[in-house]
């Protein structure tokens, strides 16, 4: 269907005056976008990890491809593709109880290092502490 140029020219000022607003980012990463709205991205949903020992508990589904989770990502507890995983903020134990556990593939940051034996899960989850 073709639109007459007069209609397009009449609507153009309305379109230019009302750009699409961007959702604000939150403190824990980019803003959530409802599923299917933009390129099939999914909204953030609550998740609950069960049957994983010390990793059990509530979290938020986040996209691991966008480094959206600064803590522990647990696969298999969120709907959709495998890169949407349950993000859990898990404290380290023992003398490092003030710090957080992270998946090692995410790195620990400048001036920090991973220490073993203070987090639940396998060898890919370690406690991130200052160097």
In a domain, 14, yes or no: no
Q: Are residues 81 and 130 in the same domain?
A: no
Cα–Cα dist 109/2, whole Å: 55
Q: Which pLDDT value is given to residue 29?
A: 46
Domain limits for position 54: 27-89
In a domain, 1, yes or no: no
Q: Are residues 36 and 80 in the same domain?
A: yes
Cα–Cα dist 16/64, whole Å: 35
Q: Which pLDDT value is given to residue 10?
A: 53
Sequence-distant (6+) residues with CB within 8 A of 35 are 41, 42, 43, 80
Q: Are residues 83 and 109 in the same domain?
A: no
Q: Are residues 40 and 85 in the same domain?
A: yes
In a domain, 121, yes or no: yes
In a domain, 13, yes or no: no
Strand partners, 74: 86
Q: Does residue 127 contact residue 96 with C-beta atoms inside 8 Å?
A: yes
Sequence-distant (6+) residues with CB within 8 A of 122 are none
pTM equals 0.66
Task: List per-residue pLDDT tens for the chain, 131 residues long.
Answer: 554 555 444 544 443 444 443 344 444 444 444 443 333 445 678 999 999 999 999 999 999 888 788 999 999 999 989 999 999 999 999 999 999 999 999 999 999 999 999 999 999 999 999 99
Q: Which pLDDT value is given to residue 75?
A: 96
In a domain, 42, yes or no: yes
Q: Please tell me the total count of domains within the chain.
A: 2
């Amino acid at each position: 269907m073709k639109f007459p140029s007069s209609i397009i020219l009449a609507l153009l000022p309305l379109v230019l005056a009302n750009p699409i607003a961007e959702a604000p980012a939150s403190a824990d990463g980019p803003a959530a976008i409802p599923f299917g709205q933009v390129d099939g991205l999914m909204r953030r949903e609550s998740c609950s990890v069960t049957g994983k020992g010390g990793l059990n508990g509530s979290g938020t589904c986040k996209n691991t491809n966008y480094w959206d989770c600064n803590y522990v990502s647990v696969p298999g507890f969120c709907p959709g593709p495998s890169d949407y995983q349950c993000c859990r903020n898990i404290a380290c134990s023992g003398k490092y109880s003030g710090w957080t556990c992270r998946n090692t593939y995410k790195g620990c940051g400048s001036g920090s290092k991973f220490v073993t034996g203070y987090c639940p899960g396998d060898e890919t989850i370690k406690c991130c502490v200052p160097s």
